[in-house]
């Protein structure tokens, strides 16, 4: 692994190659910290807490009244320091499903111990109140996670685009200005040379990089996203993020062009399989194909308590396309379904449905969207349960271009 600001030894044909090398190095070097494996995540690392203390040395942090910080584990101490400094802490809602921000409100007279609890993922849920579009939120400093970043300010996230979308939505809301500083907290080994050619116009750049050993001011001149680029937003994404629909209505009423990606004539025939091909290829690291689905009569079915119409055999959610299925193989014969479910909860990749085939040493996990399925593949691949290294990949039908439903395995 290259040192700070040095290129990785091999070619850099894609962002996915950089992500894979960073995740692999953090695990192999012993730098990775809980939750693990870090693959598919904004990786937590040993020294993240110390790196976050460098916020205290930034004039921009000291002057900020309101700070937006992502909910990832490496930013936990940054959230605590923001609360300890009696600043307003805004944390994006998970996958933007219920809005954009939650404001963390510690109880009156909160001790340091309670503030630290407020800064955890559970604390964010227990001590937060939603901030709506009409909340007139003003953000003075933005702290985001990264998988890799360059000293020039080019940033690579985990590949789902939520940090970029969050920033674009903040621009549309008027919550950030052109000069609002953006900070990322990473390990020194995550600071790499990144070719500018890899950057898209919707990619968020950073102004400061905080590591356990350095504070780097990037002096990045590349413009940050100027708002939501609707021609890059799909109808699928619009369906997943309710607040995006509201922003689109507002911008349409304001006379802006809000034509979506799949509404453009030139892109009308572009399907999700093509759009997501890079992520699918990155997730499928095993050469052999997984079965498409479980044989009828050999299923342990976990239904979706939120959506009773969910059918795990041909999984669809009401008003949506077929969900994405993940195959998990090489399960030890002694493993119980409750143990697998416990591991899924710990890894934060809980599916909406689960088909259990313990006798065949496999299970099928159903997810509402492809991003969740990719995270599950990344988290489960190679994970050891009961002494067996699991094999996780998208079910075969998910990798068949244009195939809309999960076929029964014959």
**pLDDT, average across residues 383-410:** 59
Q: In what order do the strands lie in the sheet with 353-357?
A: 301-302, 353-357, 362-367, 324-329, 391-394
Distance CA 256, CA 235 (A): 17
Q: Which of 72-76, 91-95, 374-378 has the lowest mean pLDDT?
A: 91-95
**pLDDT, average across residues 75-99:** 86
Q: Are 297 and 313 in contact (CB under 8 A)?
A: no
The angle, 0 to 180 degrees and rounded to 10, between the axes of the packed helices 242-253 and 162-173 is 40
pTM of the model: 0.62
**pLDDT, average across residues 164-179:** 84
Q: What percent of the chain lies above the pLDDT cut of 70?
A: 76
Which pLDDT score, from 0 to 100, does residue 378 have? Answer: 80
Which pLDDT score, from 0 to 100, does residue 182 have? Answer: 95
**pLDDT, average across residues 18-25:** 93
Which pLDDT score, from 0 to 100, does residue 98 have? Answer: 62
Residue 250 has pLDDT above 80, yes or no: yes
Q: Which of 230-244, 266-280, 375-389 has the lowest mean pLDDT?
A: 266-280
> CA nearest 241: which of 366, 93, 352?
93
Q: Are 271 and 196 in contact (CB under 8 A)?
A: no
Domains delineated in the chain: 15-217 (3.40.50.10420), 230-267 (no CATH), 278-399 (3.30.70.330)
Query: Could you read off the pLDDT of 271-321 as tens digits, one per residue?
Result: 333 333 333 333 333 333 343 333 333 334 443 333 334 444 444 444 445
Residue 40 half-sphere exposure toward CB, CA atoms < 13 A: 26
């Amino acid at each position: 692994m290259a040192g700070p600001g040095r290129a990785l030894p091999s070619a850099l044909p894609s962002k996915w190659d950089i992500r894979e090398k960073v995740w692999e190095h953090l695990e192999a070097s012993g730098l990775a910290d809980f939750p693990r494996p870090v693959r598919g995540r904004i990786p937590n690392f040993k020294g993240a807490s110390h790196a976050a203390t460098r916020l205290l040395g930034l004039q921009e942090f000291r002057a900020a009244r309101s700070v937006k910080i992502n909910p990832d584990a490496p930013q936990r101490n940054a959230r605590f320091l923001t609360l300890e400094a009696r600043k307003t802490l805004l944390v994006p809602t998970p996958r933007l499903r219920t809005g954009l921000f939650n404001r963390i409100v510690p109880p009156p007279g909160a001790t340091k111990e309670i503030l630290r609890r407020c800064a955890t993922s559970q604390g964010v849920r227990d001590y937060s109140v939603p901030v709506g579009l009409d909340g007139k939120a003003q953000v003075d400093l933005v702290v985001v996670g990264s998988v890799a970043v360059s000293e020039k300010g080019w940033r690579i996230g985990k590949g789902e685009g939520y940090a970029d979308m969050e920033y674009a939505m903040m621009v549309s809301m008027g919550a950030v200005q052109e000069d609002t500083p953006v900070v990322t907290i990473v390990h020194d080994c995550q600071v790499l040379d990144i070719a500018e050619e890899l950057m898209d116009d919707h990619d968020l750049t950073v102004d400061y990089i905080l590591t356990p050993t350095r504070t780097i001011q990037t002096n990045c001149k590349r413009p940050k996203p100027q708002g939501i680029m609707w021609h890059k937003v799909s109808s699928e994404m619009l369906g997943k993020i309710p607040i995006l629909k509201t922003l689109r209505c507002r911008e349409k009423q304001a006379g802006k062009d809000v034509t979506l990606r799949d509404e453009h004539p030139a892109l009308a025939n572009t399907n999700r399989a093509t759009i997501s091909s890079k992520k699918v290829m990155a997730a499928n690291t095993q050469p052999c194909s997984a079965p498409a689905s479980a044989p009828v009569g050999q299923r342990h079915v976990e239904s979706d308590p939120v959506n009773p119409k969910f059918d795990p055999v041909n999984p669809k959610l009401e008003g949506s396309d077929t969900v994405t299925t993940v195959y998990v193989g090489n399960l030890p014969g002694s493993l119980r379904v409750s143990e697998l479910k416990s591991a899924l909860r710990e890894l934060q990749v809980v599916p909406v449905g689960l088909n259990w085939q313990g006798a065949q040493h496999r299970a099928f996990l159903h997810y509402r969207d492809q991003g969740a399925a990719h995270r599950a593949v990344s988290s489960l691949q190679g994970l050891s349960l009961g002494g067996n290294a699991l094999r996780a990949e998208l079910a075969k039908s998910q990798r068949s271009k244009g195939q809309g439903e999960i076929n029964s395995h014959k």
